[in-house]
Amino acid sequence: MKKKLLPLLLAITCVFSASCGNTADSTGSSDKAITTPTETTTTTELTTPTETTTSQPSQTEVVTTTETPTPTDPTENMGKAQKIELSGNKDDVFVVNEACYAVTENAILYFEKGTTVRGDIGTSIEMKMKEVSEITGLTYEYKNEPALAENFKNYCPLYFEEGDFKDLNFDNSYVNIVVAELVDAQIPYAYYNFVVLDPDYIYYDGEDDPGATYHELTHVIFLNNYADMGETLNEGLATYFAEQLLMDYGIQTWSWIMFYQPGNIDAAYILKGADGFESEFYMNEYYDQYSYFYGYLFMNFIEETYGKEAFLDIADAVTKSDYERDLNGDTDEEVKENLQKSDEIIKGAIISVTEEGVFEKFADWYKDNNKRRYDDWKTYMTSIGEDVSFL
């Protein structure tokens, strides 16, 4: 991808604790050179993720310069974070004790201080990015307006605008992936060209489930190619494709039981036909479930009725329309009015790809297929050894 030259007013080269070690990353790209500011660290294999895998230097050195040339690579050190290389070995486990980042073929991984990281995290991310690209038929090349290029900083100021990773990757040549220990009420999330993930959500090991990584990467790949279509379609797409990828690996998925089990969901919005469609559901008491619930079922309906390619056609039709996701307004009522205008544009785009009466057809499909889909889920779960006899 085309790179822009970035201004650099102050370069800081840090040699700090060996928890940000310098070993070869197997995901490195031939056309995106991966460099490291020091080659003094060695690694040792560990069997526990809570111990450092590197030898500790006797003293931390900080060298600063006030004038340096403009870097030739947008992944050169900027902000306070140090660029490192990963070993590609899952047994190399270290705890990040200073903010650092690594570059893979398609992503920059930003490691927050205190995060436990495996040496194969870059390899794992690249594999999942490739799988999402293959199943959606899209690439991660950033195609949106230049003004959107800074959204990842504005929506994630803790790390970018005000944090250790300030001023990195201005041109969005890479996907920005923050790897941080998410605690309490924190959840993984994504927006234009960036993702925030807990490292436990990336692997298949034990109880770890990569569904969140697939889900958030689906958001990124669609937002890099199309307009932001609102929570209902965005979450529907991400939930649908993440589930398909999990099933390909024979991993348990709970979407069907969440959204098809009788009594779990009030389907009033679906049964209202066109009047029930909303691009956003946060304006009502169902925020915690309805955008995912409606969107996921709607995408299953679209795939069964019109084919998987209809997803891309709908996203393309919305992008080419006059639609703009408008969350502005001085009152809740004003916001709702703006969103209702957006709803009409999105509904028109969906109808243009499918047919008149598509939302009423969706209501009929839900009534006719809800039990079948739930039974399909139980059959799948049994096939991978999950006990669903209690349901």
DSSP states of 152-194 = HHHS-TTTTTSSTTTT--TT--SEEEEE----TT---EEETTE
Q: Which two tokens stand for residue 116?
A: 């436990």
Q: When comparing pLDDT for 35 and 311, which is higher?
A: 311
- Non-local (6+) Cβ contacts of 265 within 8 A are 258, 259, 289, 293
Residue 20: pLDDT band by 50, 70, 90 thresholds? very low
- 115-138: average pLDDT: 95
Q: Identify the top-confidence range among 80-89, 120-129, 178-187.
A: 120-129
What dihedral do alpha carbons 270, 274, 276, 282 form, nearest 10°?
110
Q: Which two tokens stand for residue 202?
A: 């990336």
Neighbours of 296 (CB within 10 A): 24
Per-residue pLDDT at 47:
29
Per-residue pLDDT at 306:
97
Residue 381: is its pLDDT beyond 90? no
Going from the C-alpha of 151 to that of each of 190, 194, 228, 299, 366, the distances in angstroms are 11, 9, 12, 27, 37
Residue 150: is its pLDDT beyond 70? no
Per-residue pLDDT at 160:
59
Q: Is 12 helix (H, G, I), strand (E, B) or coil?
A: strand
The rounded radius of gyration (Å) of the Cα atoms in the chain is: 23
Element of type H or E holding 196: strand 194-197
Q: Which amino acid is at 102?
A: A
- 163-186: average pLDDT: 78
Average the pLDDT over each of 231-245, 249-263, 265-279 and give the range with the smallest value.
249-263
Q: Which two tokens stand for residue 341?
A: 């205008």
Residue 89: pLDDT band by 50, 70, 90 thresholds? very high
Task: Give the strand pairing for 107-111 and 116-118.
Answer: unpaired
- Non-local (6+) Cβ contacts of 254 within 8 A are none
Cα three-residue angle 282-288-293, rounded to 5 degrees: 95
Tally: H helices and E strands in the chain: 10, 10
Per-residue pLDDT at 102:
93
In residues, how long is the chain?
391
Torsion sign across C-alpha atoms 280, 281, 282, 287: negative
Per-residue pLDDT at 5:
26
The phi-psi region of residue 342 (left if phi > 0; otherwise alpha if psi is between -120 and 50; otherwise beta) is alpha
Q: Is 391 helix (H, G, I), strand (E, B) or coil?
A: coil
Q: Rounded to whole angstroms, how far apart are CA atoms 110 and 99?
A: 8
Q: When comparing pLDDT for 16 and 38, which is higher?
A: 38
Which candidate, 51, 37, 49, 43, places its Cα nearest to that of 23? Answer: 43
- The answer to whether the beta carbons of residues 91 and 119 sit under 8 Å apart is yes
Global pTM value: 0.76
Which candidate, 213, 117, 104, 240, places its Cα nearest to that of 169? Answer: 104
Q: When comparing pLDDT for 98 and 17, which is higher?
A: 98
Q: Rounded to whole angstroms, how far apart are CA atoms 111 and 100?
A: 5
Residue 322: is its pLDDT beyond 50? yes
